[in-house]
Amino acid sequence: MTGSLAEAERWERRIHLAAHPMLYPLVRSLGTLRPVMRIPGLGVLVSEAALVREVLLDGERFVKDGPSASGGLWTPVVGPRALVNMDGGEHRELRRKLADLFTPGAVAAIVEPASAALRATIDTALDAAGRVDLVECVKDLAGGVISRLLGVPDNAPGRLPNKELFNLGSSISSLVRLGRPSLTARQTEKGRAAVEILAGPARSAYRDGAPDTFPGRLRALGMTEEESLGIISAFVMVGTETLVSFVPRLVALLADTGRVETLLANRSGMDAAINEALRFTVPSPMMLRNAVASGTIGDQPVRPGDRILLSTIHAAKSLGGFDPERPMPPQARQLWFGAGPHFCIGMPLAMAEIKGTLDVLLDRYAGKPWVVSAREVSTRVLIPGYRKLELANAC
């Protein structure tokens, strides 16, 4: 096997520093000092995987719909019943109703057409030298998935291009910042404006009630129109940036560590490689909760109203370098998708998109493994990633 873990680690560090030049080194250094500590003006930072999981599992003391938790930030934009900003019995009941929308068959109906379109997108985007910018192609894939969540047929008149749909989703998710405990009126209005553009076709699909569309299935489950729009908007905003961040990093990581050849020869290791890449890259580097009861996290007292900063970036990366052959430690298993009552319900959709993209690339480069011929990192963004990742055939 050729390649260099050190090279992969250098690029990952550059990605994180470009996104959060001050916060990333601070969070990583504080995580090495203590597993839990109070940071004045920010909240209580939790950096150990087992303690992060403990907080996520305790939905009674630590909630997502608090005023400075991530769910609370979204309520003014998407309404009060969008799943990501709910807790307690209502959250459990809505999650139960939505479960059938993420079965393997339901997910395949959303992802397979987008994956097929991705093949054509890559072929069209190839330049004369056989190079292609994967980031732009994955944005197109994400836009295609958004289109299906909205219930918009590919040939619908006036349908927005995939990349415009991606940009709308991105404009909503980018409103969240770690140092932003609430949204201003202007930020809220910006988010609502993007949601309203997405809402037009979703309203039409909901009112038509076609059972083969995502909005139509939400209607069949008894969701009101506004509830359905909130749920659709939530899925668009929480999944869009993460997918476009992670997939290029996965593809670069496989190239940097010389593991493309292994997967080209035998795809049975794909799941292990993806899961380990999720741990190593940590596409969701921080999760937010609010404490609603007094108690402790580790040896740190917490009070009602405390903002809890769950450092998944330190919790996962502190477990070691990229190694798909190493068993995943139980405390870190799927931590990037959360745990407990708010474990990501869209995880099957995300994994299907990731696997579908990797399958397309393995087919496209079956003769020769891809290499990264050029790359640029994104600067000062919420979710770290590449701005450009150019692939080419190995010589």
Q: Confirm if 62 and 290 have CB atoms less than 8 A apart.
A: yes
HEC string of 304-350 equals CCCEEEECHHHHHHCCCCCCCCCCCCHHHCCHHHCCHHHCCCCHHHH
Task: Give per-residue pLDDT as tens, 75-110.
Answer: 888 788 778 788 888 888 888 888 888 888 888 888
What are the strands of the beta sheet with 43-46, ordered from one edge? 36-39, 43-46, 307-310, 287-291, 62-63
Q: Which of 227, 286, 287 is nearest to 63 (CA)?
A: 287
* pLDDT score recorded for residue 1: 45
Alpha-carbon gap, residue 382 to 179, rounded angstroms:
11
Q: Which of 99-108, 192-201, 251-260: highest mean pLDDT?
A: 251-260
* pLDDT score recorded for residue 4: 84
Kindly tell me the number of DSSP H helices and DSSP E strands found in the chain. 15, 10
Alpha-carbon gap, residue 62 to 386, rounded angstroms:
33
Percent of the chain residues topping a pLDDT of 90: 55
* pLDDT score recorded for residue 383: 86
For the record, the structure tokens of 327 come out as: 């068993």
Alpha-carbon gap, residue 231 to 227, rounded angstroms:
6
What are the angstrom distances between the C-alpha of 379 and each of 183, 339, 376, 382? 22, 29, 9, 9
In single-letter form, the type of residue at position 9 comes to: E
Report helix, strand and coil shares of the chain as percent, to nearest 5: 55, 10, 30
216 pLDDT band, cuts 50/70/90, is very high
Dihedral (CA of 16, 22, 23, 28) sign:
positive
* pLDDT score recorded for residue 176: 65
Q: State the CB neighbour count (10 A cutoff) for residue 226.
A: 16
Q: Which of 128, 387, 119 is nearest to 241 (CA)?
A: 387
Alpha-carbon gap, residue 382 to 26, rounded angstroms:
16
CATH architecture of 5-393: Orthogonal Bundle (1.10)
* pLDDT score recorded for residue 178: 57
Per-residue exposure over 344-377, b if at least 16 CB sit within 10 Å of its own CB, e if not: bbbbbbbbbbbbbbbbbbbebbeeebbbbeebeb
Q: What is the mean pLDDT of residues 364-375?
A: 91
How do the domains of the chain map onto residue ranges? 5-393
Dihedral (CA of 360, 364, 370, 372) sign:
negative
Task: Give per-residue pLDDT as tens, 307-336.
Answer: 999 999 999 999 999 999 999 999 999 999
177 pLDDT band, cuts 50/70/90, is low
Q: What is the mean pLDDT of residues 350-367?
A: 92
pTM higher than the cut 0.85? yes
Alpha-carbon gap, residue 47 to 386, rounded angstroms:
25
